[in-house]
Structure 1
Amino acid sequence: MNRNASSITRAPSRRTVLQGAGMLAAAGVAGLLPVRHARAQAAAPETRAAKLGFIALTDAAPLFVADEKGFFKKHGMTEVEVQKQSSWGATRDNIVLGSKAGGIDGAHILTPMPYLITTGAVTANNVQVPINILARLNLGGQGISVAREYQELKVGVDAKAFGHALLAKRVKTGKPVNAAMTFPGGTHDLWIRYWMAANAVDPNRDITTIVVPPAQMVANMKVGSMDTFCVCEPWNLQLIHQKIGYTALTTSELWMNHPEKAFALRADYVQANPNATKALLKAVMEAQMWCEDAKNRAEVAEICSRRRWINAPVEDIVDRIKGDFDYGSGRVEHNSRFQMRYWKDQASYPFQSHDLWFLTENIRWGYLPPGLDTKSLIAKVNREDIWRQCAKELGVDAKDIPASTSRGVEKFFDGKVFDPANPRKYLESLSIKYIKSA
């Protein structure tokens, strides 16, 4: 059981009684801050409805919990529909459509996607649809897995021998070797590219990156469609249970506590429904606190396993939700420091500095132009101001609300350093890159 997950409490003299329709559901939330009486007097939501998308992954758990435990209803959002999406491409298409046209208002989403959609970089006819990031849903928790044929290499963060094996296979068979990710320019694409490039494997020339929806990763590895993939759980552990491959590394081994998914809404929904937006965000934040608590992790796994959510055996989910990692290669870690964080370590706060890293990496690989005005774009997309308002209204301790929009200088496993004050220097330090012509 995870003993590192911090609970968020106040001294008894500062406690208040949980109010609202979700009182019974929320009263059992260990680690959840009491809500101040002022919250009950918050302006009523302009609408009680929202359609939110998700992909079948454990980092969508805050949305599952907000629905199952009544957090959306507690905050007056009684008509929230949380709808499964078949792929990140479907998420993109449905958020571009919007709920009025049969799509969705927002989603559990790969952090770079709101930027790629807002700029039109990944939309049909490059249509620009402004999207707002309201929170980060989690830190870390993704995995990079490799096929069983590479079992003897015991691939880890050091992938040089694996790279040689991939090149040898390509020469021998005359066929491409594939690395699967879930969406071009998305987090999984960037993690596997960073890992490969840091090990002197050019992800554009030495291998072929392919797009595979998360829930289809294991089946595709089984039939030999790829040699390695990057995805969230439960698909890495399921791969091991089916004896098809093993986990080379968890992505926090590349970048400790890296940002991952986001909670985002269409900007027009936010603009038209500021109170409903805050209500949705508060529900998600409270769900994140609930998910973080060690005492709830087994139930988080059970909720995730349900048919309406991930629809996978709970045994493929529970260990890594608790922080216990059997990599399938002989390496076993209990209560791993690389486990997914939903609330601890300021997991929920959408640091602008992290968005800048994602934009810089998308420039690195040619998905976005080098002359992009990242400062104004981040100001347009990132609504950390709403997160701060919600945190205060929820009674989050001031020490748990970041003092800055930057987490500061970030360090990676290969010694590279990203200083948000000088992203160009970071970009110049990378030997393998494909920047578009200005």
Structure 2
Amino acid sequence: MPFGAPEKTHVRVGFVALSDAAPLAAARLFDLGRKYGLTLELVRQPSWAAVRDTLLSGEIDAAHALYGLVYGVQLGIGGPQADMAVLMVLNRNGGAITLSTALADSCRETGSVKDAFASLGRKPVLAQTFPTGTHAMWLYYWLAANGVHPLRDIESVVIPPPRMGDALAEGQLDGFCCGEPWHALAEARGVGRTVALTSGIWPDHPEKALASRRDFVALYPNTSRALVATLLEACRWVDSAAHRSKIAAHLAAPDLLNVPRDVIEPRLTGVYDPARFPKALAVSFFDGGAVNYPRASDGLWFVTQYRRWGMLEGAVTADDAALAAAISQTELYREAALLANVPLPDERRAAVLCDGRAWEGDASVYLDGFDMRR
């Protein structure tokens, strides 16, 4: 290899029971780290708060983590502050918003999320998975785009993804936003109906990151580089439809998702009801390497939303962009991509979100354009 041998050869990687942990499952199943001098141990975590805590304590070395969790910890608004690193993006798309069956029916009948919520006669209780995480931000953005103020018009609560369906069935929730397979399972149980896909909120949005503390990267640069190369190999393998079907069987195992394969597989392979989601974008793990580059502009978007909703005070500053650049381990990624023979995508990309607003990386202009905010 053109770089040194890993300083640490056994790496403990945390994950939460979600379908987009598929690359980690593949890396372990096929021992993909061996090529780079690593063995991977997967450590299931009960919640994103547990991922945060075990990362900060050093009980795990890296994690399949919400993109927004990394930024929340870095900024000290998602728990104790620590310098964090996004080593790569593990997937884009793949989440959803599910409402109780009755509330979903009301949305369809009225043609208005706002009117359906008002018909309850109380604030709806909607769950997400971590206060600064991707699911909170997708939920808030979708609500605002539909005329519902996420800080005033709903009650937002945090629940681990595997608990979402039970909480909905027990009447504790009116809806939730998280990853799969928990939406598919809620539909299979008849307790809820998916009303929006996160890919419809921001097409090809960043979802899970391979995250670590920044001091881990500094202490173990060769290990970190080898870990990224390993997960790039895994993302490339998982990205084909045939391989997704195969990995769904392994994800069903009790030590991973503990959910039937026939619940996991359809949405992992991109099968959605075309009548409800004619433009559905499936979860994407590789796409020729376009998925995985850790762009600072992706992370900066989360900072705009924290400022929008009052989690951070004040206007956008140059420090926001500098913070995102420090978190995004782009040089490490480039070196790992060279090892894994993965092409590099463009540094910047633009997207149009569900409210028609374009995100092109100009945080100040973007933030100033929102009418609904704290």
Structure 2 CA distance for aligned equivalents of residues 350 and 423 of structure 1: 17
Query: What secondary structure is seen at the aligned counterpart in 2 of 1:53?
Result: strand
Give 2:32's aligned residue: 71
Say whether the 8 Å CA contact 1:121–1:367 is kept in structure 2. yes
Q: Deviations over 1:5-54 (max 9, x none)?
A: xxxxxxxxxxxxxxxxxxxxxxxxxxxxxxxxxx3x64211111222110
The reply on whether 1:348 has 2:292 as its aligned counterpart is yes
Give 1:148's aligned residue: 101
Q: Deviations over 1:382-429 (max 9, x none)?
A: 101111111122222xxx31232x21x321122112231x22221121
The reply on whether 1:120 has 2:71 as its aligned counterpart is no
The reply on whether 1:166 has 2:109 as its aligned counterpart is no
Match for 2:367 among 421, 424, 427?
427
Structure 2 runs not aligned, ≥5 long: none
Structure 1 CA distance for aligned equivalents of residues 104 and 138 of structure 2: 21
The reply on whether 1:59 has 2:15 as its aligned counterpart is no
The reply on whether 1:331 has 2:276 as its aligned counterpart is yes
Query: What secondary structure is seen at the aligned counterpart in 2 of 1:144?
Result: strand
Q: What is the total number of aligned residue pairs between the two structures? A: 371
Give 1:294's aligned residue: 241
The reply on whether 1:187 has 2:134 as its aligned counterpart is yes
Give 1:109's aligned residue: 65
The reply on whether 1:255 has 2:202 as its aligned counterpart is yes
Say whether the 8 Å CA contact 1:148–1:243 is kept in structure 2. yes
Structure 1 CA distance for aligned equivalents of residues 62 and 156 of structure 2: 28
Say whether the 8 Å CA contact 2:104–2:195 is kept in structure 1. no
Deviation at 1:179, TM superposition (A): 1.0
Give 1:30's aligned residue: none
Query: Compared with structure 1, are the counterparts of its residues 151 and 177 closer, same or farther at alpha carbon in structure 2 (3 Å cutoff)?
Result: closer
What code does the residue aligned with 1:167 have? A
Say whether the 8 Å CA contact 2:200–2:280 is kept in structure 1. no
What code does the residue aligned with 1:403 have? D
Query: Compared with structure 1, are the counterparts of its residues 418 and 318 closer, same or farther at alpha carbon in structure 2 (3 Å cutoff)?
Result: same
Say whether the 8 Å CA contact 1:388–1:401 is kept in structure 2. yes
Give 2:356's aligned residue: 415
Query: Compared with structure 1, are the counterparts of its residues 180 and 394 closer, same or farther at alpha carbon in structure 2 (3 Å cutoff)?
Result: same
Deviation at 1:272, TM superposition (A): 0.8
Query: What secondary structure is seen at the aligned counterpart in 2 of 1:318?
Result: helix
The reply on whether 1:386 has 2:339 as its aligned counterpart is no
Say whether the 8 Å CA contact 2:187–2:193 is kept in structure 1. yes
Query: What secondary structure is seen at the aligned counterpart in 2 of 1:209?
Result: strand
Structure 2 CA distance for aligned equivalents of residues 402 and 279 of structure 1: 20
Query: What secondary structure is seen at the aligned counterpart in 2 of 1:192?
Result: helix
Structure 2 CA distance for aligned equivalents of residues 116 and 286 of structure 1: 28
Give 1:402's aligned residue: 345
TM-score normalised by L of structure 2: 0.94
TM-score normalised by L of structure 1: 0.81
Larger Rg: 1
Say whether the 8 Å CA contact 2:113–2:146 is kept in structure 1. no
Query: What secondary structure is seen at the aligned counterpart in 1 of 2:121?
Result: helix
Give 1:3's aligned residue: none
Q: Deviations over 1:263-313 (max 9, x none)?
A: 011111111111111111111110000010122111121121111111111
Say whether the 8 Å CA contact 1:111–1:186 is kept in structure 2. yes
Query: Compared with structure 1, are the counterparts of its residues 289 and 246 closer, same or farther at alpha carbon in structure 2 (3 Å cutoff)?
Result: same
Structure 2 CA distance for aligned equivalents of residues 154 and 314 of structure 1: 30
Structure 1 CA distance for aligned equivalents of residues 197 and 75 of structure 2: 30
Match for 2:320 among 368, 374, 377?
374
Structure 2 CA distance for aligned equivalents of residues 118 and 366 of structure 1: 17
Q: Deviations over 1:182-209 (max 9, x none)?
A: 0101100011111110111111111111
Deviation at 1:155, TM superposition (A): 4.4
What code does the residue aligned with 1:316 have? V
The two structures, once aligned, show a CA RMSD in angstroms of 1.9
Say whether the 8 Å CA contact 1:160–1:200 is kept in structure 2. no
Structure 1 runs not aligned, ≥5 long: 1-38
Query: What secondary structure is seen at the aligned counterpart in 2 of 1:425?
Result: helix
